[in-house]
Chains A and B, each alone.
Chain A
Amino acid sequence: MSKRRSAALTEAQAVSLAQKLLRERLCHQKLPDRPVALDSQYKHLLELLRRTALHGESNSVLIVGPRGSGKTMLLGCVLRELMSLKDVQKNVLLVELNGLLQTDDKIALKEITRQLHLENVVGDKVFGSFAENLSFLLEALKKGDRSSSRPVLFVLDEFDLFAHHKNQTLLYNLLDVSQSAQTPVAVVGLTCRLDVLELLEKRVKSRFSHRQIHLFSSLSFGQYVDAVRSQLSLPPDFPDPTFSSEWNHSVTKLCEEKSIEEVLKRHFNGSKDFRSLHSLLFLAVSRASVSHATLREADLLEASRLISADSKANVLHGLSILELCLIIAMKHLNDTYDGEPFNFQMVHNEFKKFIQRKSHSIHKFEKPVVMKAFEHLLQLELVRPVDSGVCKVQREYQLMRLMLEHGQVMEALQRYPQCPTDVKQWALSAFA
């Protein structure tokens, strides 16, 4: 694209281009040039995999960290750098497995043979039974030795799910190959469970090298804000330099804003992981449009409001008065009986007492109508049966628990549009 044409980008085009770029960065988890604040882990992993790829050393390693802490991103960056070496690219075979997809060893084995392009694969069909497949694969792996055969990198995403397979056959065999002097393999497991080693059988555990890389976010708030700024900024090679400088300037200014700092602080205190930050920024970015090309303060505030909304409060807001009254009755039952489970009869009894004694605004409803309201609450899972599944008891005698906090009910009552006063007073009175 020539310089002259790119300068002629209209504002709409520039906005859409910027959106496209930022969207890809935020939701498609595009790899950054270099992982932030993970240098030592990066070096460690790169060195390990390089030794397997170049020197034929067999390794096994686990990358452990909470969700959204950048495990896949770290591995992706390492693999990208590794593959950029010329002799590695030709030499190494990569096998990627995911515990969510390969739900048992048979499927995983099929996937391995497919990804290794082994001889018994014709077209896209795999022949042979599980036992045949396994012995074939093992033979192929065992025949090789350190010097001559191509190293294989096994990446096991959601490693803890592989530990739930029967007998952990796949893990045992992979780690066994990595322990004996056969084909060089590197087994890299990604997991979010800290106790993942406790899930492994003894024989599997003894074959694992106990090398673990922990990813715990050690960001300070200053770094967090820097990350926000860099995530939102447009890159220097953006085709419209005036637009991008304007955009970047607005982002810098935005990050210095007092209210924005408060919002970010709140999110930082909630969780340090990048993925929740990404969803916040995504919401803010998606609000930018032609009418206001740069990112505004209001966008980010609105996005934060959307993210931190209490969803149960939203559900409570949409209930009818009758359903709300039932919830208040349940709250009273919870208060008087110390959180014991209740059934519909008790709730109805409590509600009837209210209607007879105190209410002026609410009519008397027939019992089946109240039952229908109660079942709607059950459907919304605001109340939950104590022993689920057993539906042998009549509907009105099934024991239930309320799935709401005292505070949530009171707040919903405050926010409820046109709530009758006597209902409010009933909710506030300690004695029903």
Chain B
Amino acid sequence: MTKPIRRRSSYEEDAFRCIRDNIPNGNIMSETPPCAGYPEDTLRSLAHRLPCREVQLKSLLSLMGQPDQYSYPSIFIYGHRATGKSHVVLSIMKDLELPHASVNCVECVSSGLLFHQVLSAFSGADAAALLPRCPSLSDFVRLYKQASSGSPAAQTRYIILDRAERMRDMDFGLLPALLRLQELVNDNVTVILLSEIVWEKFRPNTGCFEPLLFNFPDYSKAELVQILSQDHHPSYTPELYASYVNILLGVFFSVCRDLRELRHLAALNFSKFCEPLEKGEAKESDIHKLWKNIEPHLQRAMQTVYLREVSSMQWEQQQMDEKEATTLRGLSAHAHIELPYYSKFLLIAAYLASFNPARTDRRFFLKVHRSILISLLCVMSHVITNKQSLSLLQSHGKIRKTNFLKKHEKTSNHLLGPKPFPLDRLLAIFYSVVDSRVAPTASIFSQISSLVTLQLLSQVGHDDQLDSPKYKCAVSLDFILAISRTVGFDVVKYLYDFL
């Protein structure tokens, strides 16, 4: 496959030179191509296509050795998302035309799919068709041996397993067996595992063949600028794009260091950045003016596009229409759900039951009792000095309350999360908050269970379904405030945390 040759601008040449010069030399053989046995010009073009990954490229190549030599049975490559793990490995494989099978473990829901992909990559679809319907590892190794005895590997074969953390959830013996596949099939084969997670989390409890660990470090800020400014817009100068990338990183670098995400954000917001230039309000040299224009826009982007509240298409559309960026309602603004009247009260009652301690129920919900007491006091107040007694009652309550608050200051329920409560308590609170008399009909109970299926409530413990089930409330405070507003009920007054 030939790539169309593009003339590189002088800026890019500079960038490449500076990449080359930035290599921390010492252990790395600097300019000479490190590995004999591979065509030199391919190696060079490979190095140019993988900016800021030269060190890793060279060490990987030296680990792999020449194509006919044995390589280590398994290599485990870890590093953060978008640090070029699979990109580097796959471009090595493709450019040097090494025999390889690249498998994404997310796709392999069963080990059979994995075996099928590996066999068909190495020895064609015929060998893969020999696999039985539910192949075991034993079948795979037998067929592999059979295929490789016909055509033994002249070169090292590579099996590349992307997202290898999924391997842990597959059959128990699969990972240890793949790690020592070279020994099991007695062929020149190397398994390369790629993952974001460190190797310590992979090791099975009886141990296994330890792979070589290899780290892909994160890109530094300078490297990110270098890589991002490679895809500059043709109608503007590269310097302008580089300064734009610098501004973008100034906003986003403390939150996100994922190259893919940053590149996406850069592509989305560039047109906004160039707006003053197109209108003629600023020149390319007025970086400060451009910065002032784009900075609030980028801040808004962090709250919307970065969180996928607003889709990229909507964001672009909005820029085109030149609307104010916050006019769009994001995904989370659609959280409000229309519920039946009693369901709303059931949910409110569930929220109160979850976030109030049970011992405060008497205080909040025995309102009949309380109102009688207060009316009694009022009657008495007509007779004697009313104010004194009322204030006495209130101050008494206050003292108790402050004591409580001091004691349990740390353990606010809105920090700890919802507590489980039994069905009886839910119904008791429900009857005391709902105004009219409600009969405990089947419809009330079915509403409770449908709230569970809507995942607004969640049932705790499955052991006794019918007999006194326990629930937790699974909605946020904002949601419950919105609900209670529609029925004219003041939840905050009844919440212990906000007293």
Task: Give chain A's interface residues, CB within 8 Å of chain B.
Answer: 12, 15-16, 19-20, 23-24, 27-29, 67, 72, 98-103, 107, 110-111, 114, 124, 160-161, 192-193, 275-276, 279, 282-283, 286-287, 289-291, 298-299, 302, 306-307, 309, 311-312, 314-315, 317-322, 343, 345-346, 349, 362-363, 365-366, 368-369, 372-373, 379-381, 392-394, 396-397, 417-418
Contacts and interface: CB of A to CB of B under 8 A. Distances in A.
A275 B199 CA distance: 17
A101 B197 CA distance: 26
A192 B204 CA distance: 13
B416 interface: yes
B387 interface: no
B27 A302 contact: yes
Nearest to B475: A394
A282 B32 CA distance: 22
Nearest to B199: A311
Given A289-B29, A320-B256, A343 B416 contact: yes
A315 B198 contact: yes
Interface in B440-471: 458-460
Interface string B202-223: 0000111110111101101100
B126 to A, nearest CB: 14
Most buried by B among A15, A100, A363: A100
A279 B138 contact: no
Interface string B287-316: 000000000000000110011010000000
A160 B204 CA distance: 14
Given A16-B36, A16-B37, A368-B303, A101 B66 contact: no
Contacts of B107: none
B302 A318 contact: no
B36 to A, nearest CB: 6
Contacts of A314: 78-79, 198, 215, 217
A387 to B, nearest CB: 12
Interface of B: 26-27, 29, 32, 34-37, 62-63, 65-66, 68-73, 78-80, 83, 136-138, 141-142, 146, 171, 173, 176-177, 182-184, 196-201, 206-210, 212-215, 217-218, 220-221, 253-257, 302-303, 306-307, 309, 332, 414-418, 458-460, 472, 474, 476
Nearest to A345: B415
Nearest to A97: B138
Contacts of A20: 66, 68-70
Given A101-B177, A103-B173, A16 B201 contact: no
A12 B36 contact: yes
A418 B417 CA distance: 36
A134 to B, nearest CB: 17
Contact of B220 (A124, A320, A417): A417
What does DSSP make chain B's interface, helix, strand, loop or mixed? loop
A24 B70 contact: yes
B36 A320 contact: no
A160 B66 CA distance: 38
Nearest to B130: A124
B458 A393 contact: yes
A348 to B, nearest CB: 9
Contact of A107 (B35, B138, B256): B138
A287 to B, nearest CB: 6
A197 to B, nearest CB: 16
Contact of A365 (B83, B215, B220, B255): B255
Nearest to B452: A392
24 contacts: A12-B36, A15-B36, A20-B68, A98-B184, A100-B137, A114-B142, A124-B146, A275-B210, A282-B72, A289-B62, A314-B217, A315-B80, A318-B217, A320-B253, A320-B257, A322-B255, A345-B415, A345-B416, A349-B415, A366-B302, A392-B474, A394-B418, A394-B476, A417-B220
